[in-house]
Structures are given as structure tokens and as C-alpha cells.
Amino acid sequence: MRTEEKTFEPEVVAFCCRHCAYSAADLAGGGRMNYPSSIKIIEMPCTGRVNVLEILHALEKGADGVAVAGCLPGTCHYIKGNTLAKQRVDHVMELLKTIGLEEQRARMINISAAMGAQFVTEVTDFVETIKALGPSPLSGETSNTRKESQS
């Protein structure tokens, strides 16, 4: 029997707009700021390109949480991409509730390219939220099986 403490390390996907959140992540990395390695960043031309099915697909394929990170309100390079993204994330949150999952597994984040430290704060908070929720039932894993499979 193993004596090590088993901790849940969630799989979190972040769809990041290249004009803001992706650049903020880059800034954080360049500044040697630490953020959870469990975040899988996917660069998007704009969060307006992220649709409901992509978010649900990530959750279906085992992500414990999905963030959509776009420009600050009123600063989307495609005018209303981040507004549409927020509506889609809200819709996904409603769908998650409908099927009995925690709505907190989806989150919209708004950030500018200059906000590297804020990016770290936001994604760390999201990962901590997901950790508190535990593994997604859709992942088919428990916290113990996931940890063991990574050992």
C-alpha cells in the first residue's frame, strides 16, 4: 500500500485569445511567474471562435474544467467575439447544471495582454476551484486512479 498522499491534479483546458490572454500567459512565462502546469492553453484567434460544442467536447474528452479567456469587455479585435464567448460559456454553464454537473467547470475570463500577473491569479483560482470540485464524472476517473496513472 502506498503511503504518499494522493492529490487530485485536474486537467484544465484554456481557450485563449491570441490578442490578450495568450499574450498575458506569454508575459507571465517570460516574467517567470508560476501558474499551474495542469492548464492546457489552446491559442485562438479570438474567443468568438470558441463554440459551445468545443467546450462540451473538451469536457466530454476528460477535461475537468474549461476556461475561455478573452479580451477585456469592449476591446475585442473582432468587436463582439468576447461578448459572444461569454454568452456561450453562460449557455454551457446552464447545460452543465441541466445534466447534473457543476456549472463552475466552465468559466469566462477577461484579461488584457499586459495583465500577466492577473492571468496567473485567474487561472490559479480556476484550477483551485476545479480541485475543490474533484474530478469530472465525465473523465471516468477518480482522484486516486488519476494520480496512480501518472505515477
Non-local (6+) Cβ contacts of 121 within 8 A are none
Among all chains, which residue has been given the C-alpha cell 491559442?
43
Q: Exactly one of 13, 19, 41, 119 binds ligand FES (CB under 6 A); which one?
A: 19
Q: Residues 35-54: x/- map of binding to ligand FES (CB under 6 A)?
A: -----------xxx------
Contact between 10 and ligand FES per CB under 6 A: no
C-alpha distance from residue 79 to each of 28, 47, 48, 70, 87 (Å): 26, 11, 9, 12, 15
Nearer to ligand FES, 48 or 65 (CB): 48
Query: Distance (Å, rounded) from C-alpha 130 to C-alpha 107?
Result: 11
CB of 23 to ligand FES, least distance (A): 10
C-alpha distance from residue 142 to each of 14, 64, 121, 134, 146 (Å): 22, 11, 27, 8, 6
Contact between 20 and ligand FES per CB under 6 A: yes
Q: Exactly one of 33, 78, 112, 121 binds ligand FES (CB under 6 A); which one?
A: 78
Nearest to residue 124, comparing CAs of 76, 65, 63? 65
Interface stretch with ligand FES, choices 3-11, 54-62, 77-85, 91-99 (CB under 6 A): 77-85
Interface residues toward ligand FES, by CB under 6 A: 17, 19-20, 46-48, 70-71, 76-78, 81-82
